[in-house]
Structures are given as C-alpha cells and as structure tokens.
Amino acid sequence: MCGIIGILSKKNVVSELYAGLFALQHRGQDSAGIITYDTSFHLKKGIGLVNKVFNDKNLARLEGNIGIGQVRYPTIGPGGVEDAQPFMVNSPFGIAMAHNGNVTNYSELRDKLSKKYYRQLSSYSDLEVILNIFAEEMATQHLQKFSPETVFDTIAKVFGQVKGSYSVVGLIADKGLFAFRDQYGIKPLCFGKKKQSYIFASESVALDQLDFSMIRDVLPGEAIFIDLKHKIYSKVIAKQVPHPCIFEWIYFARPDSIIDSMEVSEARFRLGERLAMECLKAGIHPDVIVPIPDSGRGAALAMAKVLDVEQREGLIKNYYMGRTFIMPKQSLRTNSVRQKLNPVKSIIRGKKVLLVDDSIVRGTTAKEIVSLIRKAGAKQVYYAVTCPPLRYPCVYGIDMMTRGEFIARDYSINEIKKIIGADALIYQNLDDMIDGVRGNRLSQTFCTACFTGDYPTGIKEKDIIKLEKERIKTKKGE
Ligand code: SF4
C-alpha cells in the first residue's frame, strides 16, 4: 500500500503535490518524494513522513507545471532511501514514475533487464523494474512520431510482461502526464479536474482536499495520457474482471474516500451492521461498544445502532505514533501498541466491553488491547472483527507476505480467542464482508485472496513460496 499522485496544470504544481501527499500520508510513512519538470527534472525524496522530507527550501526548487509524488509503505527492499520513489530515467525523452503495488515476477524481469537489455538497477524497488521495461519498450517505438498511441502501445507491452498489482502515475518530459492501472484494478486510482488542472491520485480524499472534482476512477487495464495542451486520451488496453483489494474498504483507505464508486465510510457501516447480527447469533450482549481507532469506528457505530448499546471512545489513540500495522519490525509493533492506545477507565470499568477491530493478522495487537481493557477494569471483553480470518499471504503489495504471520493459519477461532485473552471472538463471514462492502453494486467483485487463497492474477503456489523467500531476502538487503 502506497499513495501516489500526479498533477498537470498551467501553474507550478509542487504545493498541490505536497498537500496531496499529506492527504495520502496514511497510505505510507516510510518515505516520500516528489519530482517535477519544467526544462529539466527536479527531484526530492527521502525517508520519513512528508513533513520530515520536505521543507521550504527544497520545495522551492521543485519548479514545473507537471509533477508526480509518492508516499511509500515498504513491502520489498530494506526500505532505504534508494528505494524511495519517484524514479526517473533519462532516455527516451526523460520519464519519471511512481507506483502503488507489487510486481510478482520481479526477479524474472530484473534478470531480463540486465541480461537482455543491459540495464542495471540501483534499488530493490519493483517500480524501477516497471519504469525500465516501460522505457525499453518506448525506445523501440517510433520516437520521432510520438503520439498518445506511443504511450498506449508501450503500456500494452508493460501489461504483457509485468505481473501483479500496480497503479502507476508518470510523466514524460515535454510530452505529458500519464497514469495506468493493472488489468484487475487491484490498487485504486482516481482521476479529477479543477479548472485547467488534472490530477491522478490513489484516493479521492486527495482530490477533495485540493478542491479538485472527481471525473472518475481509472478503469482496470486503462491508460490515460494528458498532453501539454491538456488534451485527454484514454484507452482500455487489457481488461479482466475487476478485483480491487477489499482491504481498502476494511482498513487502508480513509473513511472520507470513495473508491471505485463505493464509499469507504458507508462500507464500514454496513460491515458493522452485519457483524452485529453475528454477535446477536452468538448471544453476545455488551454494555458498551468500543471501537479500536480509527478503522473500527464506522463498524462500531453501526453495531451500536443494531444492538441498541452505547458506543463510546474507550480507547484513545496517540496520533503522533505511526500506524501499528505498517511499523516494519515486530519489536517496534509490540511496543507501539502500548504507547499508542490508552483506555478510558471510566468507560471501561465494571462493563462488558465489545471491542471492534478491522482485522487480526498476527494477534499481537489484539492481545495487547484485550489486556489493556482488562487492566482498565472490564468485567468481560468481547472482540469483533469486521473481516474473516486472514490465512494467505498478500502478493499484491500489503505487508503480510509470509504464511507464518497469520495466527488463523495455525489456530482455530476458539484457540485465537484464548490466545488473545478474549471472552468471545466474532469474525465476519466472507459473504457478509463482500456484501457489506459492495452495498447495492451487486455484481462488484473483489480480490479476497488473503482470506480465500484465490488470487485473481492466478499466481501458482510455488511462485508464492518463491516470492516469500525473495521478499524476506530483499527486506534484509541481501
Ligand atoms: S490479498 Fe488481501 S490485502 Fe492483498 S490485494 Fe488481495 S484482498 Fe488486498
């Protein structure tokens, strides 16, 4: 999960790119970067949050009416500055790119670039692979007659070679801004407009905060190119049945975003309604419902309504800590839970407390939270989860890449309940999760591979194992 943005305007774009990255900061806190172009490229990227990487001085030199930016969440590579995005190549034309996703045939393409095209890479970033394949293919087109078709033909070649999930924004020097989304539309990407400016961004919240209006989502397998006269060209190049990542609505996206025409906050509310019915079936009657901030809130509100129980903010979050789930090391994760969440004793003491969480991956966070709530004086602690048990690695860019990470792989629900120390544990079932997220879009399909093992891109078991090993190796920087 990363956040990407690209803007083409009649004026300098850096301030809007910078503000847009702030709006997307929840999608990645590992590194941030912006590249702009006027008569040459201007790049600034670094490790850390947006406000750590950028300052008045470096923003001032990022001149140009066209630019792209990214906030990164590491799934491949050791997470050094060499993996920070955007990336650029000088030839042909000068191309810069940023992406959100994960290339599942990364090693094969890296080898091909080195052995067939004599292109050496400088990082472990899979974006660098996409960019070099793109550049190589574009260099073989008729460059003197550059046209939008040149871009579309190039992207068709990328689709033919690059497997996995990827939403990409890019710019070609003196030509224009482009964006494309993989054939399955696994990662989100939306397209907006404001007067004479155009924007691509991972989530609509970036458009809202910059006062852009939504044109539409980029379609799965679609490429859009906007030239310097602001003429828009689009083409669906390689379409499959859409499979956007269902986790966007459960956890990743901000609740004020709309992804693929489905509102995140409404989806979370519907998930809560369905989960409440499961609680009723299990005979759970809490005194108070406490959401685990932030992504448990929408569901908790709906559960309170259905169960006719008060919902209170019984866990207070320290917003100056990073998101637990995307802290890169286990030791950091465990410590950060205690520091990040603090119970409100007056809300908890003597009560049967129903905690509402978006998911359980390793179970370490859930265990810590149950313990915190018990220490605060709860009579009983129930734990409700808005998605089913996670059992399969995500090969599409979420940091749950190895099977050993999933508590539900090795233990039954009853055993997990005991491990986390809860008096009851209720998971959402798969059908209710899908129905809850899609609402009245009845034919909408999703990627649910981490729950079912059914990978939309058809990756084989042996390739998943290979990918696991590679990812562990590159994380160590070997
Ligand atoms: S495997 Fe899970 S987290 Fe990964 S893209 Fe699919 S639904 Fe999302």
Query: Which ligand 1 atom sits nearest the alpha carbon of residue 165?
Result: 5
Q: How far apart are CA 70 and CA 50, in angstroms?
A: 9
Query: Which ligand 1 atom sits nearest the alpha carbon of residue 243?
Result: 6
CA distances from 125 to 55, 81, 131, 150 (A): 25, 11, 10, 25
The reported pLDDT for the residue numbered 324 is: 46
**Which residue minimizes the CA distance to atom 5 of ligand 1?**
245
Query: H-helix or E-strand containing 106?
Result: helix 106-115
Q: How far apart are CA 152 and CA 191, in angstroms?
A: 17
Phi-psi region for residue 350, left (φ > 0), alpha (ψ -120 to 50) or beta? left
The CATH class of 262-442 is alpha beta
Q: E strands, 380-456, where?
A: 380-385, 424-427
The reported pLDDT for the residue numbered 463 is: 87
Measure 158 CA to ligand 1 centroid, in angstroms. 22
Query: Which ligand 1 atom sits nearest the alpha carbon of residue 245?
Result: 8
Measure 253 CA to ligand 1 centroid, in angstroms. 13
Measure 22 CA to ligand 1 centroid, in angstroms. 24
* Residues recognised as catalytic: 2
The reported pLDDT for the residue numbered 214 is: 98
Q: How far apart are CA 187 and CA 401, in angstroms?
A: 17
Query: H-helix or E-strand containing 366?
Result: helix 364-375
Query: Which ligand 1 atom sits nearest the alpha carbon of residue 246?
Result: 7
Q: Which residue has the tokens 């209006």?
A: 213
Q: Which of 163, 202, 396, 468 to mutate to test the pocket of ligand 1 (most atoms within 8 A of CB)?
A: 396
Measure 431 CA to ligand 1 centroid, in angstroms. 16
The three-state secondary structure class of 191 is: strand
Q: Which residues line ligand 1 (CB under 6 A)?
A: 186, 245-247, 394, 396, 398, 447-450
List every span in the chain annotated with CATH 3.60.20.10. 3-243
Measure 190 CA to ligand 1 centroid, in angstroms. 19
**Which residue minimizes the CA distance to atom 8 of ligand 1?**
245
Measure 243 CA to ligand 1 centroid, in angstroms. 9
Give Rg (Cα) of the chain: 23
Burial (CB count <10 Å: 0-12, 13-18, 19+), residue 320: exposed
Which tokens sit at 107? 């090693």
The reported pLDDT for the residue numbered 389 is: 97
Query: Which ligand 1 atom sits nearest the alpha carbon of residue 397?
Result: 4
Q: Which of 73, 183, 243, 245 to mutate to test the pocket of ligand 1 (most atoms within 8 A of CB)?
A: 245
**Sequence-distant (≥ 6) Cβ neighbours of residue 272 within 8 angstroms:** 298, 299, 300, 301, 302, 303, 306, 356, 386
Number of Cβ within a 10 Å radius of residue 62: 24
The reported pLDDT for the residue numbered 105 is: 94
Taking only the tens place, the pLDDT of each residue in 37-55 is: 999 999 999 999 999 999 9
Which tokens sit at 96? 């810069």
Residues in the chain with pLDDT < 70?
74-79, 142-143, 321-336, 474-478
Which CATH fold topology does 3-243 show?
Answer: Glutamine Phosphoribosylpyrophosphate, subunit 1, domain 1 (3.60.20)
Q: What does pTM read for this prediction?
A: 0.94
Measure 449 CA to ligand 1 centroid, in angstroms. 6
**Which residue minimizes the CA distance to atom 2 of ligand 1?**
450
Taking only the tens place, the pLDDT of each residue in 125-135 is: 999 999 999 99
Measure 173 CA to ligand 1 centroid, in angstroms. 34
The reported pLDDT for the residue numbered 403 is: 77
Query: Which ligand 1 atom sits nearest the alpha carbon of residue 393?
Result: 1
Q: Which of 447, 448, 455, 457 to mutate to test the pocket of ligand 1 (most atoms within 8 A of CB)?
A: 447
First to last CA, the chain: 23
**Sequence-distant (≥ 6) Cβ neighbours of residue 22 within 8 angstroms:** 50, 51, 209
